[in-house]
A and B are shown apart, each in its own frame.
Chain A
Amino acid sequence: MSVIAFILFGSVVLLPAAGLLALRWATSTGQFRCPDKAALLPFDEAEPVGLETDRILGGNRR
C-alpha cells in the first residue's frame, strides 16, 4: 500500500507541481516572449526560411 500511496502522492502533487515549475521557468527565461524568434528555431543559415529541404519525387533523378 505504501508504494501506491507514494504513486498517488506523486500523481496528485508532484506532477502538477513539476508542470507549474516548468511554466514558471518558461516565463522567467522568456520562452514565451519572442514567438517570432521561436518559430524560426528549425531554421538556420544553412537551411534558411524559404528553402525547401525535401524535394525528391517528380524530378528527373536517375
Chain B
Amino acid sequence: MINQSQTLRALLPGDALTGGGIDGGNKAALAEIDASCRVPVLFFFLSGLAWLLAGTVLALVASIKLHTPGFLAGWEWLTFSNVRTAHLNTVIYGFASQISVGVTIWLMCRLCRIPLVAPGLITVANLFYNLGVTVGVGGILLGDSTAIEWLEMPRYATPILFISYALIAVWTLVTFRLRAERHLYVSQWYLLAAVLWFPWLYGTAQVMLLIEPVRGVVQAAVNWWFAHNVLGLWFTPIGLASIYYFIPKVIGRPIHSYYLSVLGFWSLALFYNWNGMHHLVGGPLPAWMITVSIVASVMMLIPVITVAINHHFTMVGHFGKLKYSPTLRFMVFGAVSYTLASLQGVASAVRSVSEVTHFTHHTIAHAHLGMYAFFTMVMFGAMYYILPRVTQREWPSNALISLHFWGVALGIVLYVVPMSIMGFIQGTMLNDAAVRFLDVVQFTLPWLKLRTLAGLLLAAGHVAFVINVGWLLVRMFEPYRKPVVRILTGEAETVAAGK
C-alpha cells in the first residue's frame, strides 16, 4: 500500500515522484489552480478566523453571565443581550459565512478545473463583507440591534453585506460558466444553489422585516422562515458539498451512490424552504402554516437518510484512516453530527415535543449541534485540506492539530449532550404549574456552569488552530524547503532547498 503525506500531492507538481511523467501535467494544473486561489481564500479564511476568536470571547462572556450575572456588570455595552447577540452575528456572519465562501471558491475552481477568474471581484466582496460585519457587530454592541433574531444587525450595515453576497454569487456563476469540466459533481449543485439561495433569503427577509415591514404575526413567520432557512439553504448545502468532496478525496474512493447524492440534493431543495414555522407552535398563526412546516420537517428525513447512507457506506472499510487524516476526522465528525442534528430537528418539530423543548436550552443545544458539531467541524476539516495546498506548505504542528480536534470535539459533546437533557427537564418543569419559576432557574445553574467549561474547551481548540494557521503563514514567507518523500513508509522530511 502506498502511503503518502499530503505534502507529496500539494508540493510536488510533476517532480521527483514521477519524474514529471505520467501525471506531471495534471499535478501542475492542480498546483496552478491552488496557487490562483491563494489570496482570496486566505483573505476569507483569515478574516473568518479573526471573527471566530472574537465570537468565542463573546460566547464565553455570555455563558458566564448566565450563571454569574454580576460578571462585567459595570459595562453597559456588555449586557447579556448585547453580548449574546454580538456572539451570534460574529460567528454566523463573520466566521461561518466567510469560511464558507473561502471553501466555495476553492471547491468551485477545483471542480470546474480552472484557475480563479476575476480575483478582483472576489477580493472586493471580501472587503465589503468585513466592513459590513464590523459595522453590524459594532452597531449591536452600541445598542442598535433590530431585535429580530438572526437579523439583528442595524439597517445601515445590511446593504453592505448584501452587495458582498451579490458579488460572490456573480463570481460563482462566472466560474461555473467558464468551467473546463462540463459534467457537474454533486458538490457543485449544492454550492451553486447555496450562493443563489442566500441572497434571495437575505434580501427577502430584509425587505419584509426592515425596509417595508409587514405587520403583526407575519413578521414572526418571515423571521423564522429566514432564521431556519439560513441554516438549511446556506450553511447545510455548503457543508454537504464539502463532505461529498473531501471524504472521497481523502480516502481515495468515490461516493457510495451518486444517485442517492442527487436525490438528497433535490429533496433538500424541495422540502427545506417550507421549514421554519414549526418554531411557532402555540403561536397566533393559522394552524395550517405550522402544520405545513412540521410536515416538511418530517419530509427532511428523505435527504437526511440518503446523505447518512451515502456517507456511511463510502467510509466502510476506511475508518482506520481517521487515525492519519485531520480532514477526515473533522469531516466524519461533522457528517455524523449532521444526521443527529437533523433527527433531533425532526423530533423537535413535532407539536408534542416542541411544547416541551421550545423556549428552553434544548433549542440552544440543537442550534449548536447543527451549526458547530456539523457545520463548523466540516469547515475545519476543509481548511485542514485547503490551506497547505494554497500556501504550498505543510502543517507545522501535529500536536496543535490534535489539541484542536480533541478540544472542540470534547467541548461540543460536553455542550450539546448535557444542554439537551437539561433543556428537556427544564421544559417539563416550566410546563408544570406547581413548580416555581425560581426553582427552574436554580435547577439550570450547575448545567450552565458545565456549559462554560465546554466553552473553555472549544476556546482552547480555536486558539490551537489559529496558532497553527499563523505558524503555517510564517512558513509561507520562509525560503522554499523541498520535501523528500519516502513513498513506501509515508515518511516525509524536509531539507533546505539547494542541499
State whether B214 touches A4 (Cβ < 8 A).
yes
In the assembled complex, the Cα of A23 lies from the Cα of B255 at a distance in Å of 22
CB of A49 closer than 8 Å to a CB of B: yes
State whether B493 touches A62 (Cβ < 8 A).
yes
State whether A52 touches B251 (Cβ < 8 A).
yes
Contact of A57 among B110, B184, B259, B323 (CB under 8 A): B323
State whether A41 touches B185 (Cβ < 8 A).
yes
State whether A59 touches B323 (Cβ < 8 A).
no
In the assembled complex, the Cα of A46 lies from the Cα of B24 at a distance in Å of 7
Q: Which of B190-215 contact A (CB under 8 A)?
A: 196, 200, 203-204, 207-208, 211-212, 214
State whether A56 touches B250 (Cβ < 8 A).
no
State whether B200 touches A15 (Cβ < 8 A).
yes
Most chain B CB atoms below 10 A, which of A1, A11, A19, A52: A52
Which B residue sits closest to A37, measured CB to CB? B183
Which A residue sits closest to B381, measured CB to CB? A54
CB of B492 closer than 8 Å to a CB of A: yes
Q: Which residues of B contact A30 (CB under 8 A)?
A: 183
CB of B489 closer than 8 Å to a CB of A: yes
Give A38 Cβ to nearest chain B Cβ, in Å.
5
Q: Which of A20-62 contact B (CB under 8 A)?
A: 23, 26, 29-32, 34-62
State whether A57 touches B200 (Cβ < 8 A).
no
State whether A56 touches B326 (Cβ < 8 A).
yes
Known contacts A11-B204, A38-B184, A46-B26, A3 near B325 by CB under 8 Å: no
Contact of B5 among A38, A44, A48, A61 (CB under 8 A): A61
Contact of B212 among A1, A23, A29, A61 (CB under 8 A): A1
Most chain B CB atoms below 10 A, which of A30, A35, A53: A53
Q: What is the interface residue range for chain B against chain A?
A: 35 or more
In the assembled complex, the Cα of A18 lies from the Cα of B200 at a distance in Å of 13
Which A residue sits closest to B24, measured CB to CB? A46
CB of B491 closer than 8 Å to a CB of A: yes
Query: What is the number of contacts between chain A and chain B, taking CB atoms within 8 Å?
Result: 155
Q: What is the interface residue range for chain A against chain B?
A: 35 or more
Q: Which residues of B contact A48 (CB under 8 A)?
A: 23, 252
In the assembled complex, the Cα of A49 lies from the Cα of B252 at a distance in Å of 5
Known contacts A56-B324, A59-B324, A61-B493, A31 near B183 by CB under 8 Å: yes
Which A residue sits closest to B260, measured CB to CB? A35
Contact of A47 among B22, B203, B249, B251 (CB under 8 A): B249
State whether A55 touches B207 (Cβ < 8 A).
no
In the assembled complex, the Cα of A2 lies from the Cα of B327 at a distance in Å of 48
Q: Which residues of A contact B253 (CB under 8 A)?
A: 49-50
CB of B384 closer than 8 Å to a CB of A: yes
State whether B398 touches A57 (Cβ < 8 A).
yes
CB of A7 closer than 8 Å to a CB of B: yes
State whether B111 touches A54 (Cβ < 8 A).
no
State whether B30 touches A46 (Cβ < 8 A).
yes
State whether B6 touches A54 (Cβ < 8 A).
yes
Q: Which residues of B contact A (CB under 8 A)?
A: 2-6, 9, 22-23, 26-27, 29-30, 110-111, 181-187, 196, 200, 203-204, 207-208, 211-212, 214, 245, 248-255, 257-259, 262, 266, 269, 321, 323-328, 384-385, 394-395, 398, 401-402, 489-494
Q: Which residues of A contact B (CB under 8 A)?
A: 1, 3-4, 7, 10-11, 15, 18-19, 23, 26, 29-32, 34-62
Listed by A's residue number, 26 A-B pairs whose Cβ atoms lie within 8 Å are A3-B212, A4-B207, A26-B184, A38-B183, A38-B184, A38-B186, A39-B248, A40-B254, A41-B111, A42-B245, A42-B248, A42-B249, A44-B26, A45-B26, A46-B9, A46-B29, A47-B9, A47-B26, A49-B252, A52-B3, A54-B6, A54-B327, A56-B326, A57-B323, A57-B402, A59-B3
List 10 tightest A-B contacts by C-beta distance, closest first.
A46-B26, A35-B258, A41-B185, A39-B254, A54-B325, A46-B27, A46-B23, A39-B258, A45-B23, A54-B250
